[in-house]
Amino acid sequence: MKNMITDEELVKIAMEMRDRAYAPYSGFAVGAALLCEDGSVYRGCNVENSSYGATICAEQTAAVSAVADGNVQFVKIAVAGTGDDYCVPCGICRQFLREFSADLVFLCANSSGEFKVFGYDDLLPNAFEL
Ligand code: THU
């Protein structure tokens, strides 16, 4: 695996991606950086909408970008939010990403770039799949 990027570097990309967030309604900017098996990194940010339910999370935009590029071998995702709390993915994102890997590693960062590492054992045990 060309998995040369460090966790710290992946988190840094996620933090940079917060600047691209379109979050005028919540004011909560989120950035994501999704590492794939071949070493590719796909970037995402949350994109909100005046019809709130149409909002897309940062993790989903990164994942959709990867899939659209023909890359579904997800390895690791860094998520960086706003504030002191570690930004863990919402329930929909956990399920959305689980579609492509049961072994995905989550690097959940706060605004300072400190992060905690999680897996699906923690975030979505007994996940639904068809
Ligand atoms: N958000 C994400 O981008 N990822 C998550 O996992 C949690 C929530 C976004 C959605 C919305 O734009 C804002 O954060 C507040 O919920």
How far is the C-alpha of 114 from the C-alpha of 7, rounded, in Å?
11
59 is catalytic: yes
What is the pTM assigned to this prediction? 0.96
Ligand 1 pocket: which of 90, 95, 107, 124 to mutate (most atoms within 8 A of CB):
90
98 within domain boundaries: yes
79 within domain boundaries: yes
130 within domain boundaries: no
Q: Structural domain of residue 27, as residue ranges?
A: 7-123
One-letter identity of residue 104:
L
Residue among 8, 37, 48, 59 flagged as catalytic: 59
How far is the C-alpha of 24 from the C-alpha of 45, rounded, in Å?
13
129 within domain boundaries: no
3-class DSSP state of 129: coil
1 within domain boundaries: no
Q: How many structural domains are present in the chain? A: 1
Q: What is the number of alpha carbons within 13 Å of residue 52 lying toward its C-beta?
A: 3
Dihedral sign (CA 1, 128, 7, 26): positive
Nearest CA-CA partner of 72 in 32, 101, 105: 101
Q: What is the pLDDT of residues 13-52, one digit of tens each?
A: 999 999 999 999 999 999 999 999 999 999 999 999 999 9
CATH number at residue 21: 3.40.140.10
2 within domain boundaries: no
Across residues 105-118, what is the average pLDDT? 97
